[in-house]
């Protein structure tokens, strides 16, 4: 199972590090990618984001995992009811992949629908799993990377944990 984490408000590096420590309680065998500084997409008048991807294992079902990730976000000050869509946030945790699971619920879609068009997801994902294939499209994630060139992604630091 793969999660994407991002932050662009407050002490982003400390937030990502602390969020990973909390995720270690839920995810066994957690491994994190390097941290990447990325230009904002969609709403560009905001600070750069710091992004990474983690892989791990859990016995939680997708909805339960979503509840855990949103609880962690809230502990770091995220209030989805008050924030601007695609705007600055202290912490964002997206469920990218959950094994081969395909799920479409109002609150959760797996695989994450935007992951193939986002360098801030693809670059750290491919760092962890260079040969990983999209479970629905049957194509390697690396095949989508070229279409994301020019999105402004820069290696910032090695894995935080």
Please state the domain extents for the chain.
2-157
Tokens encoding 49: 């984001």
pLDDT tens digits, residue range 9-34?
A: 999 999 999 999 999 999 999 999 99
- Residue 42 confidence (pLDDT): 85
Q: CA–CA separation, 36 vs 116, rounded Å?
A: 17
Tell me which DSSP letter residue 160 carries: -
Is the pLDDT at 129 greater than 90? The verdict is yes
Is the pLDDT at 161 greater than 80? The verdict is no
Domain formed by 2-157, architecture:
2-Layer Sandwich (3.30)
Is the pLDDT at 41 greater than 90? The verdict is no
Percent of the chain with pLDDT over 70: 100
CB proximity list for 95: less than 8 A, separation 6 or greater: 1, 2, 3, 62, 65, 66, 69, 108, 110, 112
Q: Is the peptide bond prior to 111 cis by the omega test (within 30 degrees of 0)?
A: yes
List the catalytic residue out of 45, 48, 63, 78.
78
Among 127, 118, 125, smallest CA distance to 147 is for: 118
78 annotated active-site: yes
82 annotated active-site: no
Q: 50 has which bridge partners?
A: 7, 37
List the catalytic residue out of 41, 94, 131, 139.
94
63 annotated active-site: no
List the catalytic residue out of 11, 63, 89, 139.
89
Q: CA–CA separation, 49 vs 39, rounded Å?
A: 6
pLDDT tens digits, residue range 136-152?
A: 999 999 999 999 998 99
Banded model confidence at residue 8, pLDDT cuts 50, 70, 90: very high
48 annotated active-site: no
- Residue 132 confidence (pLDDT): 97
Q: CA–CA separation, 22 vs 56, rounded Å?
A: 13
């Amino acid at each position: 199972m793969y999660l994407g984490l991002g932050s662009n408000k407050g002490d982003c590096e400390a937030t990502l590090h602390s969020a990973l420590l909390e995720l270690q309680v839920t995810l066994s065998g957690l491994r994190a990618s390097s941290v990447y500084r990325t230009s904002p997409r969609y709403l560009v008048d905001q600070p750069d984001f710091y992004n990474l991807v983690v892989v791990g294992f859990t016995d939680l079902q997708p909805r339960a995992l979503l509840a855990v990730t949103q609880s962690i976000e809230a502990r770091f000050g995220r209030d989805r009811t008050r924030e601007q869509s695609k705007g600055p946030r202290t912490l964002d945790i997206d469920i990218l992949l959950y094994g081969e699971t395909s799920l479409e619920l109002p609150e959760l879609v797996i695989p994450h629908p935007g992951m193939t068009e986002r360098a801030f997801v693809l670059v750290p994902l491919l760092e962890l799993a260079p040969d990983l294939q999209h479970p629905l499209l049957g194509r390697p994630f690396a095949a989508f990377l070229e279409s994301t060139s020019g999105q402004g992604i820069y290696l910032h630091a090695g894995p935080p944990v």
